Amino acid sequence: MFNPDAVGKSRKSSTTFKVTQESISNFAHAIGESEVINSPVTYSIMISLGPSQTLLEDNGLDWTRVVHGDQKFQNNRPLHAGDEVTCTSTIESYRAVAGNEIVTVRTDLHCGAELAQVQWTTLVVRG
């Protein structure tokens, strides 16, 4: 059972993620893109996945019943090789609807003081 009082809880990743040209190229290649100076628009999901999962697990999320409901990216700029990204994930909303639970987590991706990208991930926990 997810902790309904988790809304507003936040967790900053303890380490930074260093963006490499190789990781951008691998992601681009997997989706059929070839030119790779700017990160593809959804690339940063690979950075936020771990930190947001940790926050959700700390608050009782049961992954065996989870479906990815929706996803949003607000990209102030693409990421580039050499960027050092810090993630801060926050549980933004929680509601129980018709036996399912719906949780939205926001992750802010900072490069130093600059807010480069923000993501929202909504998960549906099936009852």
In angstroms, give the least distance from the CB of 10 to another protein.
22
Query: What is the per-residue burial (b if ≥16 Cβ within 10 Å, else e) of 108-121?
Result: bbbbeeeebbbbeb
In angstroms, give the least distance from the CB of 5 to another protein.
27
Task: Report the phi/psi class of residue 82: left, alpha or beta, with left for phi > 0 and alpha for psi in -120 to 50.
Answer: left
Q: Using the minimum distance from each CB to another protein, give the nearer residue, 27 or 94.
A: 27
In angstroms, give the least distance from the CB of 111 to another protein.
15
* List 3, 16, 23, 88, residue binding another protein (CB under 8 A): 23
46 neighbors 8 (Cβ within 8 angstroms): no
39 touching another protein, by CB under 8 A = yes
* List 46, 81, 102, 115, residue binding another protein (CB under 8 A): 46
Q: Using the minimum distance from each CB to another protein, give the nearer residue, 52 or 59.
A: 52
Measuring CA to CA, how many Å separate 34 from each of 19, 25, 49? 17, 8, 24
> By rule CB under 8 A, what string of x and - marks binding of each residue 66-105 to another protein?
-xxxxxxxxxxxx---------------------------
40 touching another protein, by CB under 8 A = yes
**What whole-number distance in Å separates Cα of residue 51 and Cα of residue 102?**
19
**What whole-number distance in Å separates Cα of residue 5 and Cα of residue 103?**
12
